[in-house]
């Protein structure tokens, strides 16, 4: 998007504690002519999020999601193949069927 990171992060605030992010807090993940993605970590409460900012002829839109990934982990995962839906469903079914056994192990 060719927008410096310093122009985006002062507008963003932590979704948990509502403190504004400083421009040095963001880790750029991807960037092209119309879209930028960055990882932000709040120094006040420790919550991390991934912020996606897109620009079009109608304006700028952004969306953020909370994550447990560090900035480096997020950077390493960008561009990698997504987990296939079938694998995610298989894991869900397995964990659901094994919930009682897992609870016993974890107790």
Domain segments of the chain as ranges: 5-81
Residue 22 has pLDDT above 80, yes or no: no
Which residue intervals of 22-84 are DSSP H helices? Answer: 71-77
Task: Render pLDDT for 34-67 as a digit per residue (tens, 0 to 9).
Answer: 888 889 888 888 899 998 888 888 888 888 899 9
What burial class does residue 81 get, using C-beta atoms within 10 Å of its C-beta: 0-12 exposed, 13-18 middle, 19+ buried? exposed
Cβ–Cβ < 8 Å for 28, 4 = no
> What pLDDT score was predicted for residue 24?
58
Give dist(CA 4, CA 92) in Å, integer. Answer: 40
Which CA distances in Å does 2 have to 33, 81, 107?
6, 25, 51
> What pLDDT score was predicted for residue 62?
84
Cβ–Cβ < 8 Å for 66, 15 = yes
First-last CA distance in the chain: 49
> What pLDDT score was predicted for residue 66?
93
Average pLDDT over the chain reads 82
> What pLDDT score was predicted for residue 58?
86
Please tell me whether residue 74 adopts helix, strand or coil conformation.
Answer: helix
pTM of the entire predicted model: 0.66
> What pLDDT score was predicted for residue 91?
92
């Amino acid at each position: 998007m060719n927008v410096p990171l310093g122009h985006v992060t002062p507008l963003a605030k932590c979704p948990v504690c509502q403190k504004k992010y400083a421009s040095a807090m963001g880790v750029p993940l991807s960037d092209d002519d119309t879209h930028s993605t960055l990882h932000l970590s709040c120094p006040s409460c420790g919550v991390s999020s991934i912020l996606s900012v897109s620009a079009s002829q109608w304006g700028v839109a952004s969306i953020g999601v909370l994550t447990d990934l560090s900035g480096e982990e997020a950077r390493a995962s960008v561009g990698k193949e997504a987990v296939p839906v079938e694998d995610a469903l298989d894991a869900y079914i397995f964990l659901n069927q094994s919930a009682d056994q897992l609870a016993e192990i974890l107790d």
